[in-house]
Every structure is written in C-alpha cells, then in structure tokens.
Amino acid sequence: MRDMRKSGTISPVAFLATVALTFAAVQTRAAELDEVRARGMLVWAADQEGGGPHVFPDADAPGQLTGFEVELAGMIAAELGVKARFQQGQWDRLPLLLGRSVDCVINGIELLPERKRDYRCSRPYYAYALQLVARRDGPIDDLEKLGAPGPGGRWRVGALTGSAAEALLRSRHDLEVDVIGYDGTIDSLEQVQSGVIDAALMDDCIFNFYADRFAELRAAGRPFGGGYYTVLTAHDTPRLAVAIDEAIGRIVADGRLKTLYDRWDLAGRQQVLALRDAAEIPAADRRSFARLAAEAMPMLLASAGMTVLLACLAFPLAVVVGLGIALGRLHGPPALQPLLAAYVEVVRGTPLMLQLYAIFFLLPKVGLALPALVAAIAGLALNYSAYESEIYRAGLKAVPTGQLEAALALGMTKWQALRHVIVPQAVRLVMPPVTNDFIAMFKDTSVCSAITVIELTKRYSVLALSTGRIVELAVVTALLYLAMSWPLSILSRRFESRQERAA
Amino acid sequence: MIAVTGLTKARGGVTALADVDLEVRPGEVTAIVGPSGSGKSTLLRCVNGLETFDAGSVCIAGHQLAPGPQPPRLLERVRRDAGMVFQQFNLFANLSAVDNVALAPRVVAGMATEEARRRAIGLLDRVGLASFAAARPGTLSGGQQQRVAIARALAMEPKVILFDEPTSALDPAMSEEVLEVIVDLARGGQTMVVVTHDHALARRTATQVVELIAGRITRLGPPAAVLAG
Ligand SMILES: Nc1ncnc2c1ncn2[C@@H]1O[C@H](COP(=O)(O)OP(=O)(O)OP(=O)(O)O)[C@@H](O)[C@H]1O
Ligand SMILES: [Mg+2]
C-alpha cells in the first residue's frame, strides 16, 4: 500500500551517513600532479546549468559543452601535458568534489579569503564586476534605489546561492532587500522577468551573455565591485596547485588568454591589465567552533523553524485534499473518478522537485506568480495529497460494510454516513501511516531549496561550505532534525499502541 | 404497513426470491423462517431498499418501491420508517452507546443534541443499559450490543422494525436478554418482521410465521400451524 521511498523517522544516523558520503571528498586525499600525469587526464568540475558564458551546452552541437572556461580548462590541461575531462556538479557544491575524482574546479569561483582558507587558489584568471539586473519597465535603475523600501515593502533580489553577489547583498544592511538564493543564475533572471522578484545581482559577464534572451530586462546601473575568478584545488595537492597556477601564468603571459577573451567578447586587453594588477588576497582565519556555533545556531534554528512551518502547513492541506480525493474516488460521481485516479497517478509518477519547479517557474508564465513559500507549501501539499489519498482510500475500504449499511438503514444520506460514521473510523485506522508520512515530509521539505526556500538542510549546506566546518555543523543539524522527529515518532507509536489495545 | 407483491430477484443466475407475496399489518409481528440461503435476508433488505429487486413491488409505510435502483430521497424516507437490526449488531465503532442511539435523531431528524441525548438515555434505560451509556461498543457483550442496536433503531420511532437473525450470533443467555426486549416491543404493539432460526423466538413473538424455501413462500400462518412440523 505505501510507497517505500519514505521511511519512518528522520534518523540522525542516516543524515550523518549521507553527509559523510557526500563530503568524504574533503577527508580523502586528492590526486597529486604525478597521478594526474600518469592517468593523462585533468578532471575539472563546473556547473553547465545556465552557465554561459563560462560553461554551457553548445547550441550547435548537442551534447557538447562550450564556454570560455571550457577552452581555458583545455589550455591548462595541455600545459600539464594531459587531456581535460569535464565533471558536472551543482555550483555551490563544486569545491566538495575536489578529491572525489575531481582535480580542480574552474567555474567562476571568486577569490575570497574564506576560499583561500579552505582550498588552494590559483592566481586570478578573470576579473568580474557585479551587475544589478531589473525589469526595463520597473523602478529599479540603480543599486542605490534599493536603499529605500519599494511599493511592496522590502525589495526581493535574487542571487546565485553561495556566490560573492549573494554574500554582498547579505552584508549590505543599508539596503532594504530580502535576498533570495537561486541554484542557477538563469532561474533568477526568469523570475525577475516574470515579476516574482524585483531584481537579480550577478557577475557582469553573465548578464552580457544572456541579455538578448531576456529582452524585458536591463542592466540597472553600471557594474560595480567585483573581484577575480580562481581555479580551486584541494589543500593536499600542493604540486598540482602550483602546476595549474604556473600554467595560468604562461597562458596570460603569451597572450593566449587575451585572444581567448577577445573571441568571447570579454574585453581581453582590459582583463589582462586587471589581472596584472590584482592585489594579493589574504586567507581568512579559521574561527573557533564555539564562536562559529554561537553565530550559526540562530540561523540553523530559524531554518529549522522554516522546515517545521513548511511541514505543518503543507501536511494538513495534503491530508484534507487526500481525504477528499479518496472519498471522491470511492463515493463521488462516476464521471469524476477516472479524473481523480489520473491525478493520483500523475502526481505520484512525477518527482516532487519537478512539481515544485512547475509551480514556481512555470505558473508565472501563465500569469500566476506565487511567492516561494506559498509555492513550496502548495507543491508539498499537492505531492503528498496523492499519497495520503491512497492511504485514506485503503482506510475507507477497511471499515466494514456493515457500518455503512447500519447508517443508511437509519435513513442517513450517504454523505451523512460517511461524515459521522465511516470517515472518523477510517481516519483513526490510518493514523500510524499518516503520522509516518508527516515525519517523511519533514525530510522532503529540503527539496524546497530548489525554489529558493531556505530550510534546514540548505542552511546547513550553505554554512558548512562558507565555514569549512562540514562535520561539526552536520552533527548540530542532525540533532535539530532529531529534535523535530522525536516527538512525532513518540506520537506515532502512541497511536499504534492505542490501536492495538482497541483491536 | 408492508405489502410485498410478486417480489422477484435473481442473484448471479440463482433465484434468490421468486414471486413473493407478503402482507404485514400494523401491530403485527411476522417471523420469517427457512433454511440457510433461502432468501430471508434478501427479502428483508429489499423491503428497506438496501437491495434492489427485479420485479414486483414493495409498499412500506405508504412508500412505494419499484424494481431497479430507487431515488436516494425515497430510500431515506423509507428507512426512517423502517428500522433495522442486524445479526452482527453493526454498532458504530467510533461512538459510545448513547451516541450510537442519538446520532440518527440528530443528523437525520435534526433534533437538538441535548434532546437527542435525553431520548437516547431513555431508550438505553428501556433495554436495561442506562449504566452503559458511555461505553464503547467494543467493551460490551454481544447481548448488550444487540440491545443498544435495538435502542438505536427505536430512536427514529420507526413504523416497523426489521430484524435479521438478531440472536444468531449470541449464546443462549444473551439471546434471552435480547428476546425479552423483542417480546416487550411486541407487547407494546410495535410492528416487526423478524428473520430467525430460533423457533422459540418465533413462537413467543410472532402473530404470523412465513416459511421461505429457495426463495419461495412455502407456508404462511399462525405460529402453531407453521412451526408444528
Ligand atoms: N452478496 C451476495 N452475492 C451473491 N449472492 C448472494 C449474496 N448474498 C446472498 N446471496 C445468495 O442469495 C441467496 C439468498 O441469500 P440470503 O442471504 O437472503 O439467504 P438467508 O436465507 O438469509 O440465509 P442465512 O440463513 O444463511 O442468512 C442465496 O442463494 C445466497 O447464496
Ligand atoms: Mg440471512
């Protein structure tokens, strides 16, 4: 009857195991220069999703990648006397791939003190500036406009999660801005265009590249701030790091980089001059865990609150809709029954992630722009309603037919009989599996990070990556999940034992 | 009160009822006896519209049932006038004894909660269960459950009560408790149709006895005559 994808509780052990597997990279030793040479291949990681002009699928040759970093990776590999091989990854998690079959990350990674602390960074290979992008017909024409609240209160501004643009927005407390983190820059541009958010901040070269595709958007003000891109390697491959750094030096010195950038319309001469004068950036200090925990805890707690909020709003909705569907399928008009069955099949047959995407990114295209939180709750409720309807259908069928006949024999209508006799019994019957699904939903809320809702898992991931305290924060996060699921598990067991006593 | 004429029903090729004629006058108690599978339950369930039939007609408390599916409104009116008591009691498992009795007056007859409750307690008292008002069905004995079920049927003040083997699931002592309630109702002039294997029950309550075999009425008359052989 139940879908096996959901297990009963959020096990902190499982969470830690997942984290350990995901981040094992950091602990295992990465391939050094001699190993890279021996295998004849330099594996570099990047995110091709909405990745122009850095790394993106070639429109003319499907299945092929193109972009200035694809060519740069090829040049660096050639300097090392090996071939380049691409590895796809989610942008904000690319550094974690180092040592896990990935030798270096080349993907618009900004040279920042924190990065220097946690990884080895090459000399800069590109100088970027930040560009604010807004709707052509909108009021935002400059960053300073964001200093005062807009007509709808605080401005909603998107940025790539984990990027310097996001960090800058979050640090500018003088701006009346709610920062919304996206997994891809294109996603944020889409949402500015459809009016879900007011503006997006990104590296200038990205908007220059996509400007034609988003004709309704404009550069709001001149590019500002910015910094440099660097090639990341793991701490424990110093010789590979030096080799890559020197390779970049040669590529810049002999003019190949200028030619490359000119070909990509990236102002080669300006770039080379900016790179020549780049100032040294110091590595950040490693903070004590006590201080970090003190700083991170409020954020983690707030995100845990978001997880609770999502589940506690979405689940009751899912239950009500699910029960309605189950009643409709068993007792509703015959014409409605195949439609409801189709709904259940479609919703169960498609991933939650896709449903959230459809609600958040596609509905605005037909004029229905839901805020991220509403979209997340709607998506979770929609998805779970299909599963709950199957549970309730089984529960309704499990109530003996004599109960319905006895109610009808007293002159009740079918709906009166269902409401007063059948449904109350079915609801009690399915309490354990439904509680179980409620616990499962706490875990599934993490998918909502794909549509910019930051819940506990996402917050953990962002914090862990920006501080390098991957394991310690994982323990804290696991404990928070346990604190959420524990009371529910107790509740679920209580329902079960009460039912056993009643039986 | 009830007039069944030419009632015929086939079930999966088998004839469950064949051309059954039956009349039940107000204040009468009719016992239906016959071997297992002879169509007794089917006849009872056709009378209050829990099952459809193929031919003939049923007139009950002034309502006319025709062959085939009947409109829900009509069925609801028929059933308000014809209470039913089942072999397996079928008490609402989610409700206490008093709520079992009070539910239909409340939701079907629109009676105020307090009034429905008072009436329910009175009826539980009448079947000797006033002290079990708050009990859940699962905690009651079979005989007690069946008496609550009778009180539940009485709560709608039906013109006729249909009993389908009310004592078959009970041991002799519990059967006796239930039997006494039915005898008491008969004395009070309640019109009833009682399907039963229990000849003692038929003798003590019935004014007429109908014997059904293979869906046909084979004998009909006063208890002494039909039950003698
Ligand atoms: N749900 C059903 N589906 C198909 N046939 C049925 C069903 N219920 C009863 N029958 C058949 O209809 C006929 C009459 O059954 P019915 O239940 O009315 O008999 P009964 O006299 O009440 O028997 P019992 O004394 O065992 O209760 C039998 O042949 C039986 O097999
Ligand atoms: Mg029967």
pLDDT tens by residue, B101-117: 999 999 999 999 999 99
Sequence ranges of the domains in chain A: 31-125+230-276, 127-227, 289-502
Residue B193 · residue B24 · CB < 8 Å: yes
Asked whether residue B228 carries a pLDDT value surpassing 80, the answer given is: no
Backbone angles phi, psi at B107, to 5 degrees: -85, -30
The confidence band for B82, taking pLDDT boundaries of 50, 70 and 90, is very high
Q: Ligand 1 centre and the CA of A46: distance in Å?
A: 72
Q: A200 has which bridge partners?
A: A133, A158
In the predicted model, what is the mean pLDDT of residues B87-94?
Answer: 95
Torsion angles phi and psi, residue B4, rounded to 5: -105, 130
pLDDT of B21: 95
Same fold, A127-227 and A289-502: no
* φ, ψ dihedrals at B21, nearest 5°: -115, 135
Q: Is B47 within 8 Å of B4 (Cβ atoms)?
A: yes
In the chain, the amino acid numbered B110 is: G
Look at residues A77, A124, A35, A79 and name the one whose alpha carbon lies nearest to residue A87. A77
Q: A398: exposed, middle or buried (C-beta count within 10 Å: 0-12, 13-18, 19+)?
A: exposed
Task: Judge whether B94 is closer than 8 Å to chain A, CB to CB.
Answer: yes
Q: How far apart are CA A186 and CA A211, in angstroms?
A: 11
Plot region of A81 (φ>0 → left; ψ -120 to 50 → alpha; else → beta): left
Cβ pair B84:A407 closer than 8 A: no
The alpha-carbon gap from B7 to the nearest alpha carbon of chain A, in Å, equals: 20
Q: Which chain B residue is nearest to residue A423, measuring alpha carbons?
A: B94
CATH topology of domain A31-125+230-276: D-Maltodextrin-Binding Protein; domain 2 (3.40.190)
Distance from CA of A426 to the nearest CA of B (A): 10
| Residue A26, pLDDT score | 45
Nearest ligand atom owner, CA of A401:
1
Query: In angstroms, what is the span from residue B27 Cα to ligand 2's centroid?
Result: 24
Beta strand extents in A112-261 (DSSP E only): 120-121, 126-135, 155-160, 177-182, 199-203, 217-219, 224-229, 232-233
The residue nearest atom 18 of ligand 1, judged by CA position, is B39
CB half-sphere exposure, A124, CA atoms < 13 A = 21
Indicate the DSSP class of residue A29.
P
Please calculate the CA angle B174-B175-B176 and round it to the nearest 5 degrees: 90
CA dist., res. A347 & res. B212, Å (int): 53
Let me know: does A228 contact A126? Beta carbons within 8 Å: yes
Q: What is the CA radius of gyration of chain A?
A: 27
Instruction: Give the start-end residues of each E strand in A232-372.
Output: 232-233
Token pair of A338 as six digits: 């195949």
Position B225 scores a pLDDT of: 87
CA A474 to chain centre: 17
SS3 B89: coil
For residues B55 and B61, what is the distance between their CA atoms, to the nearest angstrom?
Answer: 20
Alpha-carbon gap, residue A86 to B62, rounded angstroms: 85
| Average of per-residue pLDDT across B202-216 | 93
Task: Sort out which chain B residues have CB atoms less than 8 A from A409's CB and list them.
Answer: 48, 50, 79, 82-84, 153
The pLDDT of residue A388? 97
Which of B154, B141, B155 shows the shortest CA–CA distance to B185? B154
When the candidates are 3.40.190.10, 3.30.1490.20, 1.10.1040.10, 3.20.20.140, the CATH number that belongs to A127-227 is 3.40.190.10
Protein residue whose Cα sits closest to atom 17 of ligand 1: B41
Instruction: From B46, B125, B37, B34, select the one nearest B79 (Cα to Cα).
Output: B46
Q: What is the mean pLDDT of each run of 10 residues along chain A (503 residues)?
A: 43 67 55 91 92 90 91 97 94 85 94 90 96 95 92 92 91 93 90 92 95 94 94 94 96 94 94 87 80 85 92 96 97 95 96 93 86 93 97 97 96 96 94 91 89 87 81 89 87 77 59
User: Any residues with Cβ below 6 Å from ligand 1, and which?
Assistant: B 11-12, 14, 16, 34, 36-42
- Residue at A303: amino acid letter: S
Judge contact between A15 and A481, C-beta under 8 A.
Answer: yes
Residue B126, chain A, CB below 8 Å: the answer is no
Residue type, position B196, single letter:
T
Handedness of CA B48, B49, B55, B60 (dihedral sign): positive
Rounded to whole angstroms, how far apart are CA atoms B119 and A79? 96
pLDDT per position as a tens digit, B37-66: 999 999 999 999 999 999 999 999 999 999
A253-262, B173-182, B185-194, B219-228: which range is least confident on average? B219-228
Facing B94 at nearest CB: one of A400, A411, A425:
A425
What pLDDT does residue A183 have?
A: 86
CATH number (1.10.3720.10, 3.40.50.300, 3.10.310.30, 1.10.1060.10) of A289-502 reads 1.10.3720.10
Measured CA to CA, the distance from residue A206 to residue B8 in angstroms comes to 82
The token pair that represents A122 in the structure block: 């090459």
Q: On the CB side of A84, how many CA atoms lie within 13 Å of its CA?
A: 20
Q: Whose structure tokens read 């008072």?
A: B118
Ligand 1 mutation pick, B41, B45, B54, max ligand atoms within 8 A of CB: B41
Cβ pair B175, B143 in contact under 8 A: yes
CATH number of B2-88+139-226, picked from 1.25.40.340, 3.40.50.2000, 3.40.50.300, 3.40.50.1000: 3.40.50.300
* Ligand 1 mutation target, pool B8, B9, B11, most atoms within 8 A of CB: B11
Whole-Å CA distances, A438 to A10, A291, A314, A352, A463: 11, 35, 10, 15, 27
d(CA B129, CA A234): 81
What span, in angstroms and rounded, lies between the C-alpha atoms of A66 and A46? 12
A312 CB-near residues (< 8 Å, 6+ apart) = none
